[in-house]
Structure 1
Amino acid sequence: MGLSVEELGEELKVTAQEVLGRLRSRQLFQSPWDTAAFIVFLAFVGTVLLLLLLVIAHCCCSCCCSPGARRGSPRKVSPWKERPKGVDNLALEP
């Protein structure tokens, strides 16, 4: 079942003491693998933040900086949308 409030408080206190002890000894990671995993995690978080920044910049620039947006002119219709798509099947003609 679940932990009681007292047990949870005691567990948090032990964890806080352990973290503070590592900070005092300046040894945050127990092995080189811990350090490598932390670096990989930071690289992943940095990549995600960079991608989010690029998406936000793209959205802002496409809304504000497009040539038609400043003048208020309507957007040009693509030539592909003007022509019907597909091929006429002449074998079905009478």
Structure 2
Amino acid sequence: MGLSGEELKQELETTAQEVLGRLKSHQLFQSQWDTAAFVVFLTFVGTVLLLLLLVIAHCCCSCCCASSRPRKVRPGKEKPRGVDNLALEP
């Protein structure tokens, strides 16, 4: 099933010539659907990279900012711990 060295070399040369021919003719895509698919793919990759950048920025900022500044705690405002069960009262 594997290609021999000569066949592989010929296949790579053919592919390289095809790509170079498309670059010279300024027609990288065969149809408008190819162009649209490429735009959608780039939009997806850009969104993923933006989200990754936001996660990294959030992690870095929360680590740096949280250690240098104590959290503000309002006096007299404690969160209730649990619920009073009035059925146990006499």
Q: Same fold (TM over 0.5)?
A: yes
Gaps of 5+ in 1: none
Instruction: Letter of the 2:62 partner, please give it.
Output: S
How many residue pairs align between the two structures? Answer: 85
Structure of greater relative contact order (alpha carbons < 8 Å, 6+ residues apart): 2
TM-score by length of 1: 0.74
Partner Cα distance (2:84, 2:16) in 1: 72
Deviations 1:1-51 (A, max 9, x none): 111122111111100000000000111111100100000000010001001
1:70 aligned residue (65, 68, 71): 68
Q: Which runs of 4+ in 1 moved over 2 A?
A: 85-88
2:41 counterpart of 1:41: yes
Aligned residues: CA RMSD: 2.7
Gaps of 5+ in 2: none
Instruction: Letter of the 2:68 partner, please give it.
Output: R
Match of 2:16 in 1: 16
Give identity over the alignment, percent: 70
